[in-house]
Structure formats: C-alpha cells, structure tokens
Amino acid sequence: MKLSVQTKAFAMLLSVGLVAGCSSTGDTMEDGAYGSDVAAIDQDGGSTVYGGTDGDGVSSSRLSEGERQAARQQAEQEALRNITTFYFDFDTSEIKQEARDVLVAHAQFLANNPRQNVRLEGHADERGTKEYNLALGERRANAVQRFLIVNGASRGQIETVSYGEEKPAVRGSSESAWAQNRRVELVFK
C-alpha cells in the first residue's frame, strides 16, 4: 500500500494535534475546590446549587420531607410524560395495564394545562384490509381519548386521527414489526 507524502504529512499533523489536545494544562486545583458555582455535598448531607452574585443557592437539605416528596412526584410525572407511544395487542383496542399509569400522568398534565392540546394518532399493522385497519386505528385512538377524559383531560383538548397501516413505525412482515406498528402516538401541540 503506497501512501503519498501529502497523506503521510496529514496523518503526522493529525497525530501531533491529538497529542497536544489530550495533554494537561499544568494547572492544579486546590484541595476541595470545585469551582465557584457548585458544591457537591453540604455538611448536612444535602446537595446545594449556587447561582447569581449573592452566593445564595438552593439546598435540598432545606426542603421539608413534604416538599421533597412533591418534587419526587413531579419528577416522576414528567418522566412518565416522556412516553408518548402506546402499544396494543393484535386486533384489539384495549389499553394495556402497563400503559395506564403513563396515560394518567398525561391526563393530569392536560387537566392542569387547559391550553395544551394533543393529537392521538392511531395505527395498525399491515394485516387486514386498509378499511379495517383505518377503523382499528380509530378505535385505538378513541380508547385512549376516553381514558384521558375519564382521568381529567377535556374533550376539547384532544383530537384523534387514524392512519391505519399507512405510517408504519417499522417496515417488515414479522411479529416484531407488527407489534411495533400496533400503536397510538400522542403528539402534543
């Protein structure tokens, strides 16, 4: 394998740049110094984040147990709301048990944010006729809509649409592909 002089020079220059970029600056930090705006753990075992010029920060050790619990619940609800796709078994529009807590979190979010809207997009796998799959996607979207309304969302916040088999998440004719295509997706607007 012959390499030109130009290629060799480029490789050498790249190597020198890599070594220079990975070397340390020689600066050392004093023991226990983490920088001016963050302390990892305070003396009471809570974490503190500082900001601004006054040196005051927010410390988890200053929160009451009730405030900590409320913050944990809010974080859990937000994490649940990151799940926006719900899967269905073959030829059914019954909401799976494992999806219910997540849908309750979405319903509560919609109830607490009346100006927020969501579109429920129903889908089906490729088996069955186009007409049947459109109707099945609609039944799935309507089932999720009813669940959200029963749990606090307003009917005016929700729009449903069925794509049937027209927008598959995964192409293929296997059980794995079909399972990923039998779904309802929540699209917040």
pLDDT tens-digit readout, 30-88: 544 444 444 444 444 555 455 555 555 555 556 788 888 878 877 777 777 788 999 99
CB 125 within 8 A of CB 182: yes
For residue 185, pLDDT over 70 is answered with yes
CA distances from 23 to 34, 69, 163 (A): 21, 45, 55
Predicted pLDDT at 170:
94
Task: Say which range, 2-16, 17-31, 102-116, 166-180, has the weakest mean pLDDT.
Answer: 17-31
pLDDT score of 91: 95
Q: Is 5 exposed, middle or buried (0-12, 13-18, 19+ CB in 10 A)?
A: exposed
- What is the average pLDDT across 91-119? 95
User: Regarding the domain delimited by 85-188, which CATH topology (the fold level of the hierarchy) does it fall under?
Assistant: 60s Ribosomal Protein L30; Chain: A; (3.30.1330)
Q: What is the pLDDT of residue 120?
A: 97
Structure tokens at 76: 């859990």
Tens-place pLDDT, residues 155-175: 999 999 999 999 999 999 999
Do residues 166 and 129 lie in contact, with contact meaning Cβ atoms separated by under 8 Å? no
pLDDT digits (tens, 9 = 90+) for 118-154: 999 999 999 999 999 999 999 999 999 999 999 999 9
Q: What is the distance between the terminal CA atoms of the chain, rounded to a whole angstrom? A: 57
If you write DSSP's letter for every residue of 117-130 in order, what string do you get? -EEEEEE--SSS-H
Residue 25 has pLDDT above 60, yes or no: no
Residue of higher predicted confidence among 89 and 76: 89
In the chain, domain spans: 85-188
The mean predicted confidence, pLDDT, of the chain is 80
